[in-house]
Structure 1
């Protein structure tokens, strides 16, 4: 009998085989075999009847073990899941004094909301270089390279180098020219005509130096053909020296006329030139002029027709000089086009103090026809004591040729 208050001997001895075994519930209370339930917490109810008590006695330990194993497995799985999520389970302590267990301190979790890289790359931003806006000049009818150079205060050579112009006398209307601002390298790089080994003997005279309002140095002069041949591509170099004879600076320029007729055919046997030194040495003591190039014109001379400018007038006005008149084609057969006029001014000493080259607006001149001439140029120092005018055109093919 397993009821409350049963025979104490019913508990049996330790390991007794024939005694009746009393099932002890929680807190030492025996369970009623007729109403004992197991698995209540898991939603299942098992009722043990008396007639199956022996079978229950054989199965209850195994069932209990299975239930305990299932609970342990569930708890283990729960702990594994919680530990995988980074959680820490602290069992609730019921009564008693808590025991402190020494343990290694855990590092605090990183604060991901304010995470900062350990090292950040440093990017260097290049400072942009301010590039000056280039000055573009569109060639108009009647303009020449020397006139454009004088307009902007630059040298003809600088315009040639920057724009790749081989012959400064061959410009076309509408051509765009980049005006050098002083930052460009204006040294000849091979695109220009190179000096000939043995240039024809051409003289230089009327050299004059003039300081510009911006501190540059203008050098004017005139080349004169001393040969019995027609000469073209005359290139001049002027070199500045200090007091000890050391070369300081040099510049080059072509003569302002395509052709120089043979000696004695003035004014067609001469032409002016201009060299601008943008940064002249302040202490130059002397100079030297060298003709680097002068060639025989050959068949090229047949394409040019000298024109007549009868009785031109010159009127000074401050630092400017105005020339007016007309240009006439006296060739009996050939019609000319692209008419070029070159005006040169001289001071009392015969030095060149200004010149201008201009292409007339007239598209062509037939034999005996005339075209109006009027131009203004800037001169240095005093008003010109004298001036000369040269005009020529390129022969055009006759109709049907």
Structure 2
């Protein structure tokens, strides 16, 4: 049995005939996973594969007991598909391996506020304050916002890099906004996570 479980999956089409899949990967094991890859295959009624798309989950690390969101798009889904399957793969992360990137433990998101709207295709947004409370600068900082429908399934995911060309210095803070243009349904709840790296020596 795999230690990685996919749940909360929502499928939705849009007005451009694209197919969207939102969901989460749960780490049910005892070891941290890094860069979990999600692959979705569309199949016809006979089970033949018609198309496949892959992407990495929103955040770099998935700790034991944690969840990590994903959003996979088929820009031109094939006609005739009637079912799909999902596979996941990851790599066990070693916190003692100094040759591999290691997570920063001092990053925090606070003053979070969710806003619904209908403006030029913008459906909703999450705003907040990102802070580095640690003693070292942080690189590769990502904030992941996961939106949930009334049934608890995922209906929206964004996970952009916040400081793509630099570092968030120790003690620094910056406002952020996650803007959602594609949703899989009504939003009833949300979570916000943040991760980043300690600079490599």
Match of 1:277 among 61, 64, 74: 74
Match of 1:375 among 178, 196, 199: 178
- What are the equivalent positions in structure 2 for 1:174-253 lying under 5 Å apart? 201-253=3-55
Q: Which string of whole-angstrom CA distances, capped at 9 and with x for unpartnered residues, describes residues 125-168 of structure 1?
A: xxxxxxxxxxxxxxxxxxxxxxxxxxxxxxxxxxxxxxxxxxxx
- What are the equivalent positions in structure 2 for 1:349-388 lying under 5 Å apart? 349-361=151-163, 363-366=167-170, 368-388=171-191
- Residues matched between the structures, number: 192
- 2:105 paired with 1:305: yes
Does the aligned pair in 1 maintain the 2:140–2:167 contact within 8 Å?
Answer: yes
Higher helix share: 1
Q: Distance in 1 between matches of 2:160 and 2:58?
A: 10
Shift of 1:201: 2.1
| Paired residue secondary structure (1:213) | coil
Does the aligned pair in 2 maintain the 1:328–1:371 contact within 8 Å?
Answer: yes
Using structure 2 for the length normalisation, give the TM-score: 0.81
Using structure 1 for the length normalisation, give the TM-score: 0.43
- What are the equivalent positions in structure 2 for 1:323-334 lying under 5 Å apart? 323-331=126-134, 333-334=135-136
Shift of 1:273: 1.8
Matching residue of 2:196: 393
Shift of 1:313: 0.7
Query: In the superposition, relative to structure 1, how do residues 306 and 245 fare at CA in structure 2: closer, same or farther (>3 Å)?
Result: farther
Matching residue of 2:91: 295
Matching residue of 2:117: 317
Higher strand share: 2
Shift of 1:305: 3.1
Matching residue of 1:36: none
Q: Which string of whole-angstrom CA distances, capped at 9 and with x for unpartnered residues, describes residues 50-102 of structure 1?
A: xxxxxxxxxxxxxxxxxxxxxxxxxxxxxxxxxxxxxxxxxxxxxxxxxxxxx
* Stretches (4+) displaced over 4 A: none
Q: Structure 2: state its 5+ residue gaps.
A: none
Higher relative contact order (CA 8 A, sep 6+): 2
- 2:142 paired with 1:340: yes
- 2:53 paired with 1:261: no
